[in-house]
Amino acid sequence: MKIHLSALALLLGTAGAAFAEGELQLFNWGDYTNPELIKKFEAETGIKVTITDYDSNDTALAKIEAGGAGFDLVVPSANYVQIYVEKGLAQELDLTKFSNHGNIAPEWMDVAYDPGRKFSIPWQWGSTGVAVNKTAYSGDINTSAIFMDPPEELVGKVNVTPEMNDVLSLAIMYMGGEPCTEDTEVLKKVRDKLLEAKPKWQSMDYGMTEKMAANDVMASVYWNGAIFRARLANPDVVYGYPKEGYPLWMDQVMLLKDAKNVEEAYKFLDFIMVPENAALISAFARYANGIAGSDAFMPEDMKTAPEIVVPEEFKAAGKFLPTCSPKAQEYYTAIWTELQK
């Protein structure tokens, strides 16, 4: 591709400006950052925040591994934290730079994937389940059969979010296995069942908050907070917790190894550990967070929402996903590639 020299100079100049003092580059999931939070941070600090969206953990990881993206902070899920650390993509945090680190709730401080929170700061946490429009289907919604063995009423009306680890974990648990299994017999059954189910799906897509709210999709594998938002727009949307097992996850913010705006990044990380600010994060995307004291600032409807308050009978079925071994990840990728064809 030919680029005029003056245009090239402009591009280079723009790239340099992104690293100017008083700016911050945040790489985050789409539709996941409260604009009010950013406005408040910019007003208090004078730091301009630029947000770049991604749609999956794998997309974000690949972009950062490729290098040169210019991001300062990224928001991976728990099972990706050690991948960032082991690949040397994230830097250990200087905890002396924080005045609010003690606000992290005790249950989220010494997590297995980052003991003592030396590499990450909590953002939000939730579950991956199934959503159904009750005008289309009135049966049991607390099961992965909604997408693995779609009932007649939902054939051709089901969406499966294209997030490999969540979908395969749901499928493996539905078939009686454990997430990150290397058992080839279980994985073969999972692959065969997914390939059998796929023709009964409508799509593999994101954007279900809007699509389910608009009755464009009648059922979907999706995340609890996004479905909470869909229900607020359309009361016919309900969220189910698959009794066979469903993923729990926590997303957290990590400081990238090649971050240019490091001091600005530290200010932002400290800012989001203030309970009132953590509540702003949750109020927008509708997920719980890991900051003690933030409940007092939460919207009232989050305190009783069925998408947030897990029914007692389904609590034990929720599992935090481990970081898969390279062999398990290889099997996952092979199944996922076949499913995408």
- Per-residue pLDDT tens over the stretch 268-309: 999 999 999 999 999 999 999 999 999 999 999 998 999 999
Give 3-state DSSP helix, strand, coil % of the chain, rounded to 5.
45, 20, 35
Instruction: Determine the pLDDT at residue 97.
Output: 98
Q: pLDDT by residue (tens digit) across 209-239?
A: 999 999 999 999 999 999 999 999 999 999 9
> Would 5-124+249-302 and 126-248+310-340 be classified into the same CATH topology?
yes
- As its CATH architecture, domain 5-124+249-302 has 3-Layer(aba) Sandwich (3.40)
The pLDDT mean for the chain works out to 93
Please determine, for residue 6, whether its predicted confidence score (pLDDT) is greater than 80.
Answer: no
Pairing of strands 48-54, 158-160: unpaired
CA 339, 324, 312 angle in degrees (round to 5)? 90
Please determine, for residue 8, whether its predicted confidence score (pLDDT) is greater than 70.
Answer: no
* Superfamily grouping for domain 126-248+310-340: Periplasmic binding protein-like II (3.40.190.10)
Q: Which residues pair with 27 in a beta bridge?
A: 52, 74
In what helix (H) or strand (E) does residue 339 lie, and over which residues does it extend?
A: helix 326-340
Instruction: Determine the pLDDT at residue 21.
Output: 54
User: Are 299 and 288 in contact, with CB atoms under 8 Å apart?
Assistant: no
* Nearest Cα residue to 238 out of 219, 216, 260, 256: 219
User: Are 131 and 218 in contact, with CB atoms under 8 Å apart?
Assistant: no
Place of tokens 């454990």: 178
pLDDT band at 10 (very low <50, low <70, confident <90, very high): very low
All structural domains of the chain with their residue ranges: 5-124+249-302, 126-248+310-340
